[in-house]
């Protein structure tokens, strides 16, 4: 599984905008209302950081997945992508245009019949941490998309030119060092060239614990490789980078190694990479927006000794 350093990027662990925290108040000052947009179906078309971009420096990509319709100020239908259906959720209105729906807190920036714009809030207890609330959502009414913009939600969700320019620049910087990496939206692929070698990529199931987010699958993908008829029996877990040419560069063991064995362990793992992985597999690098680049992976390599 992934380290805790990756998890802050998951869907509703909401991330940075101003520099202050505030307490929820009991009085409902400046409370919003959704009565003017009751019955209108909205689809999220853009989710971005306060930079205006959908990518962060590590390659995490915000994805617009929400669809919703308000029944009233107390109830709304929200689309659940995992169950592929709409579910009814209670809406809680608070002060200063803040509200809760589907277990998440938002601040309404704009409410019109054509569009909604929300700031995703980081909330702990009764405190809003604006310094960690840097994600914004834009939703358009389905009717507005179809009859005014004359396009589709899928088209509007595509990365903008500024997103592409950022990715190109970031990848150029990352590729300058084999120790650096940028998560590939299309992760590294291992294609076996030999029946003695098999590979399985770990799948991440969307659930309540990960806020219905599968980004672990590309942020730090994990693979288990079995080698039959190896010269020795072995089992190693380690992380590595794969460059844009598909070359594997060992970085560090995922399990603790005593200092006196570190040198020999590193030597053995590098020998396994050179002797088995490079021979038995075609390695396709990770890609983002069609561009190959350095990315990081976790490998569990198991060898069964030949008899």
In SS3 terms, 186-202 reads as ECCEEEECCCCEEEEEC
Q: If you write DSSP's letter for every residue of 94-148 in order, what string do you get?
A: -STTEEEETTEEEEEEEE-SSEEEEEEE-EETTEEEGGG--EEEEEEEHHHHHHT
Specify if 166 maps to a domain: no
Specify if 187 maps to a domain: yes
Q: Do residue 239 and residue 282 come from a single domain?
A: yes
Q: How many Cα neighbours within 13 Å face the side chain of 92? A: 10
The structural domain count of the chain equals 2
Instruction: Name the H helices within the chain.
Output: 142-147, 153-156, 161-174, 216-219, 259-272, 278-280
Q: Do residue 24 and residue 136 come from a single domain?
A: yes
Phi, psi of 263 (to 5 degrees): -65, -45
DSSP 8-state secondary structure symbol assigned to residue 248: E
Q: Which of 69, 26, 132 is nearest to 120 (CA)?
A: 132
Specify if 250 maps to a domain: yes
CA 18 – CA 265 distance, rounded (Å) = 46
Q: What is the dihedral of CA 221, 54, 205, 208, to 10 degrees?
A: 130
Q: Do residue 223 and residue 279 come from a single domain?
A: yes
Q: Do residue 142 and residue 258 come from a single domain?
A: no
CA 3 – CA 237 distance, rounded (Å) = 14
Specify if 2 maps to a domain: no
Residue after which a domain boundary falls, among 130, 158, 186: 158
Q: What is the pLDDT along the chain (307 residues), one digit of tens a residue?
A: 444 444 434 333 333 333 344 554 554 555 799 999 999 999 999 999 999 999 999 999 999 999 999 999 999 999 987 788 999 999 999 888 999 998 899 999 999 999 999 999 988 777 777 778 899 999 999 999 999 999 999 999 999 999 999 999 999 999 999 999 999 999 999 999 999 999 999 988 766 555 666 788 899 999 999 999 999 999 999 999 999 999 999 999 999 999 999 999 999 999 999 999 999 999 999 999 999 999 999 999 999 987 7
For residue 145, give both structure tokens.
């998309």
Residue 288 belongs to domain spanning: 177-305
Specify if 168 maps to a domain: no
Q: Which of 129, 131, 126 is nearest to 95 (CA)?
A: 126
């Amino acid at each position: 599984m992934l380290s805790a350093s990756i998890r802050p990027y998951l869907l509703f662990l909401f991330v940075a905008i101003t520099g202050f925290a505030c307490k929820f108040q009991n009085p409902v000052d400046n409370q919003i209302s959704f009565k003017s947009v009751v019955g209108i179906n909205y689809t999220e078309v853009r989710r971005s950081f306060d930079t205006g971009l959908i990518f962060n420096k590590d390659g995490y990509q915000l994805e617009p997945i929400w669809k919703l319709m308000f029944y009233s100020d107390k109830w709304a239908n929200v689309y659940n992508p995992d169950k592929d259906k709409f579910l009814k959720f209670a809406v809680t209105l608070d002060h200063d245009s803040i509200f809760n729906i589907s277990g998440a807190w938002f601040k309404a920036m704009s409410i019109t019949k054509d569009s909604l714009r929300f700031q995703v809030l980081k909330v702990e207890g009764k405190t809003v941490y604006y310094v960690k609330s840097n994600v914004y959502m834009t939703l358009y009414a389905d009717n507005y998309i179809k009859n005014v913009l004359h396009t589709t939600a899928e088209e509007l969700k595509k990365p903008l030119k500024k997103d592409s320019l950022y990715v190109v620049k970031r990848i150029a910087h990352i590729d300058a060092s084999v120790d650096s990496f940028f998560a590939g939206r299309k992760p590294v692929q291992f294609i076996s060239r030999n029946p003695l070698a098999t590979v399985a990529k770990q799948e991440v199931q969307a659930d309540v614990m990960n806020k219905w987010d599968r980004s672990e699958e590309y942020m730090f993908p994990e693979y288990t490789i079995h080698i039959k008829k190896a010269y020795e029996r072995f089992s190693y877990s380690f992380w590595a980078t794969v460059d844009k040419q598909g070359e594997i560069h060992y970085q560090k063991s995922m399990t603790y190694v005593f200092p006196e064995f570190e040198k020999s362990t590193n030597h053995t793992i590098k020998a396994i990479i050179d002797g088995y992985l490079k021979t038995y597999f075609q390695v396709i690098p990770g890609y983002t927006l069609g561009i190959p680049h350095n990315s990081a992976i976790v490998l569990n390599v198991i060898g069964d000794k030949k008899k």
